[in-house]
Structure 1
């Protein structure tokens, strides 16, 4: 990763029942054993698409786990000195909080208190959402979020049907970036993608043509160039960070990790566009 210009990696991160345990963290544990890890920071994409947390005790335990095991590490990604945590779905967090009488605002404020009581810096929570979400320009900052991003998008061009080619998927991403630029009062960590093809996992049942959204290396490079231009466009963007979906999501056809077939072609595009020192 470091050799091709990637400065941080965001690991999917899961906690839940039974026993409110961490699971599917084998990639993160491997990273923490790697002697070269200082060259590539890490952050967490909290995969909150479940019925967890179901109580304040669950939430407190989750935040304390982050605070004890990740935030103090020198490799943990920080922006302006504050650890960064991506929330997969801001909508899902709000809905789950309501099941035990809380709100996103109350939970994020409680998290900051827990982290600061342990001697840490407050957390930059990044809301995973689309640019059309109603709270983008209304309440996200008040709820305690510091910025926006997304795991991925599925839409094509302006009419927002599922993309049927990478060209359409690229147009959909660019439309999202533009909407954030127009509506958001918080920074965007620019989401980008190498494509979509869920056929290894049985295909996209809602629209089979969506699985034609894989990129060529040249298309991917053009997509990254557009992302970098958006990052540099200011002044709405105070952070110059991007996140690419994904390193190795082979089940959904979204990957840049070297393969026997493609070799290093996708990483070469990343290096060509972001190798000059921008955050990525």
Structure 2
């Protein structure tokens, strides 16, 4: 099941540090963290004019969070943010997020980034919030969340195939995206790089291929992206893929040998690394947190062996996407900060044992409130999930605080 598309279940849908293999801008007066702790950031908690027909109170997806209802006895809804319903497009509110993330060891945000109907979507969080507040303190990069925006959530139109905006782009739109991403984001000093190459993550490779007209056309487009990145003054482009069902396992009709594995697919297109977005893409998100987490993280060794490019482990806080649905859907139970910390330790050990460079772990998520997977403090756990990150990945001085 495409769980990111299910976001549109009540919305439209989902100077730094130097490392041996990862150079970024050095931030003065900050310790150099040994690990890149990168949390996915869902930029839906601000007013987006194009989504006003869904969120008439102009609060973004907060409107489904504070209106959420428990679907059965013992179901903890609504989730209540400790900081209140902040406006992430406001630099003052975003400043608090950046300061808190850095204090607790989250040093990179991976922003979900959208392009629908020939224009960006939900960009104000990054442009007006993060970039105006950041001032070089925290790194970031983009994950192009190029899935369809559907009306699966709509009780008056509950068809799964009813699409508001198509996630596919043709070559003309792809070239516009390339130009925008390079000039508006790659050139920002805080944009995250590996070996000086800007990292750009693509969520649905299948969708990209379909929109561009096939694998050969897609390879040509991605080669163009790399060339334009070089022309902008970078040594290359670091393409990163999300590993899940939207990553094809074979490609037919390309010149040369047949491509019959996901690793070969990624190599053909020039991808250099991959990670997961969340455990919901690996195991059905229903039931006990540790059962779910053990099954998901036990797949890491296979991922490391199956792919010729670097696999970065992913940790998921929890899962409960019920606020987006008028009906009950499966959710994770018995999740706690202490159990979450166990998997952070497992990720650190996996990175060290396999000598993964740079040392990157991705976390779902900083603020997926409507999917029940967030590091931001709520009224139940307060800062305990962030404490877990600091316990495992915090710098020596932060652990002393």
Paired residues for 1:13-162 under 5 Å: 13-17=113-117, 20-29=118-127, 30-34=129-133, 36-50=134-148, 51-98=166-213, 102-130=216-244, 134=249, 135-154=261-280, 160-162=283-285
* In structure 2, C-alpha distance between the alignment counterparts of 1:13 and 1:73, rounded to whole Å: 16
* 8 Å contact from structure 2 (residues 169, 208) kept in 1: no
Give the aligned length: 266
Q: Which residue is 2:103 aligned to? A: 3
* In structure 1, C-alpha distance between the alignment counterparts of 2:344 and 2:321, rounded to whole Å: 22
Q: 1:23-82, CA deviations, whole angstroms, 9 ceiling, x for partnerless residues? A: 112321201111x44221010011111334432111110000011101111110111111
Secondary structure at the counterpart of residue 172 of structure 2: helix
Decide whether aligned partners of structure 1 residues 213 and 108 sit closer, same or farther in structure 2, where only a CA change above 3 A counts. Answer: farther
Secondary structure at the counterpart of residue 9 of structure 1: strand
* In structure 2, C-alpha distance between the alignment counterparts of 1:256 and 1:161, rounded to whole Å: 21
* 8 Å contact from structure 1 (residues 191, 245) kept in 2: yes
Q: Cα offset for 1:182?
A: 1.8
Q: Cα offset for 1:227?
A: 1.1
Q: Cα offset for 1:225?
A: 0.8
* In structure 1, C-alpha distance between the alignment counterparts of 2:263 and 2:114, rounded to whole Å: 29
* Larger RCO (CA under 8 A, 6+ residues apart): 2
TM-score where L is the length of structure 1 = 0.86
Q: Cα offset for 1:214?
A: 5.8
Q: 1:60-107, CA deviations, whole angstroms, 9 ceiling, x for partnerless residues? A: 1000001110111111011111101111122332333336x8543222
TM-score where L is the length of structure 2 = 0.62
Secondary structure at the counterpart of residue 240 of structure 2: strand
Match of 1:200 among 309, 320, 323: 323
Paired residues for 1:208-247 under 5 Å: 208=329, 210-213=330-333, 215-235=335-355, 237-247=356-366
Q: Cα offset for 1:179?
A: 1.5
